[in-house]
Amino acid sequence: MNDPVFSQGSVLGRFGVVVHGGAGNVRPERRALHIEGCRRAARAGLAVLRDGGSATDAVEHAVRALEDDPIFNAGTGACLTADGIVEHDASIMEGHDLRAGAVCSLRGFANPVLIARAALDDGRHVLYAAEGAARFAAERGFVPVGDAALVTEAAREALAAAREGTGPTGWAGGTVGAVARDASGLLAAATSTGGTVNKRAGRVGDSPLIGAGTYADDEAGAVSTTGHGEGMIRLCVARSAVEAMRARVSADEALRRTIEHLRERVGSVGGAIAIDRNGRYGFARSTATMSWAAAWEEGEDAGI
Ligand code: GLY
């Protein structure tokens, strides 16, 4: 029998940030590290809001902090393809006018969320892939660090284990994301990942897809997801949860229903975080763990 989907919600208030460090099954001795990484990222996002930055700026900064932390499956330390290379996916969305930017199968850049943000600001296209995404990044002044700089020993070991059949394949955990509300009521969401361990070259998951991995609409809510990308894509999980919030379902209940539907309809597991238009936040997971942290005007919380 499946365990129930675990969900929790609370009030964030006027402005704040919620982040996740990926649905999966983090070993007990490493859980504190994941929680601390999430706390640092949520605080980085909150600092932006305190300085008068927008919700979009806040999720960008929070996800950048998670990309820079090698324990997560994003940015440096992201999982490797079957060819032993990092191929990043990332997206960001602003809930005021539904502007969005995204990159997928992007190689050689440390912070794909910044390139997604540049696409949002540029406004001509929403999603750039592979070589075209790298060219867009270079044209916007981003300097590639190269493939090798993104690869950690832990990622190499995870790929070796997947190849030998002693570790998970088609699953990495550790995708990262953030949702935020600023003092003007603007909502935003962002998600970033290396995808799944041992994935085929060119495989794209839910994280860069608006509606699957990321969605934000000031009139309803903002969502970032983590988990089996193939299932998330087929059920447009992020948008589904936002539509439930539009129908006045609370953030945590919207996510609980969506993650349960994901498991029951297509047999996929995962998790998600959300903020609704009234400043309530929530999260849900059907996996053993999903590290998360929230930071707002008057406090913070975190868990796994
Ligand atoms: N949810 C991340 C991925 O499947 O790529």
227 lines ligand 1 (CB under 6 A): yes
Ligand 1: atom nearest CA of 204 is 5
Domain boundaries, the chain: 6-303
Q: What's the pLDDT tens digit per position in 177-186?
A: 999 999 999 9
- At 172, is the pLDDT very low, low, confident or very high (cuts 50, 70, 90)? low
208 lines ligand 1 (CB under 6 A): no
Q: How far does the centroid of ligand 1 lie from the alpha carbon of residue 226, in Å?
A: 6
Q: Which residue owns the Cα nearest ligand 1 atom 5?
A: 195
206 lines ligand 1 (CB under 6 A): yes
24 lines ligand 1 (CB under 6 A): no
Q: What's the pLDDT tens digit per position in 4-40?
A: 799 888 988 899 999 999 999 999 999 999 999 999 9
pLDDT of res. 2: 61
Q: What's the pLDDT tens digit per position in 222-261?
A: 999 999 999 999 999 999 999 999 999 999 999 999 999 9
192 lines ligand 1 (CB under 6 A): no
Cα–Cα distances (Å) from 239 to 51, 77, 81, 210, in that order, read 30, 28, 28, 8
Ligand 1: atom nearest CA of 225 is 1
Q: What value, to the nearest 5°, has the Cα angle with vertex 117 and ends 289 and 106?
A: 70
Ligand 1: atom nearest CA of 230 is 4
Q: What's the pLDDT tens digit per position in 67-110?
A: 999 999 999 999 999 999 999 999 999 999 999 999 999 999 99
Ligand 1: atom nearest CA of 73 is 2
Q: Residue 24: enclosing H or E segment and its boundaries?
A: strand 16-24
- C-beta of residue 279 within 8 angstroms of C-beta of residue 187: no
- C-beta of residue 107 within 8 angstroms of C-beta of residue 87: yes
Q: Which amino acid is at 290?
A: M
Q: Which residues of 242-253 are buried (b: 16+ CB within 10 A; e: fewer)?
A: bbbbeeebbbbb
Q: What's the pLDDT tens digit per position in 97-143?
A: 999 999 999 999 999 999 999 999 999 999 999 999 999 999 999 99
Q: How far does the centroid of ligand 1 lie from the alpha carbon of residue 173, in Å?
A: 8
214 lines ligand 1 (CB under 6 A): no
pLDDT at 169 over 80: no
Q: How crowded is residue 68: how many other Cβ atoms within 10 Å of its Cβ?
A: 18
Read off the DSSP letter of residue 210. B
pLDDT at 46 over 90: yes
pLDDT of res. 3: 65
Q: How far does the centroid of ligand 1 lie from the alpha carbon of residue 183, in Å?
A: 31
pLDDT of res. 60: 98
pLDDT of res. 1: 44
Residue 199 region by backbone torsions, left for phi larger than 0, else alpha for psi between -120 and 50, else beta:
beta
Q: Which amino acid is at 94?
A: E
CATH architecture designation of domain 6-303: 4-Layer Sandwich (3.60)
Q: Average pLDDT over the chain, rounded to whole?
A: 96
Q: How far does the centroid of ligand 1 lie from the alpha carbon of residue 102, in Å?
A: 14
3-state class percentages of the chain: helix first, strand second, coil last, to nearest 5: 35, 30, 35
Residues paired with residue 18 on neighbouring β-strands, in sequence order: 179, 294
Positions marked active-site: 175
Q: Is the pTM of this model over 0.85?
A: yes
Q: Residue 49: enclosing H or E segment and its boundaries?
A: helix 31-50
81 lines ligand 1 (CB under 6 A): no
- How many angstroms separate the CA atoms of 101 and 196, rounded? 22
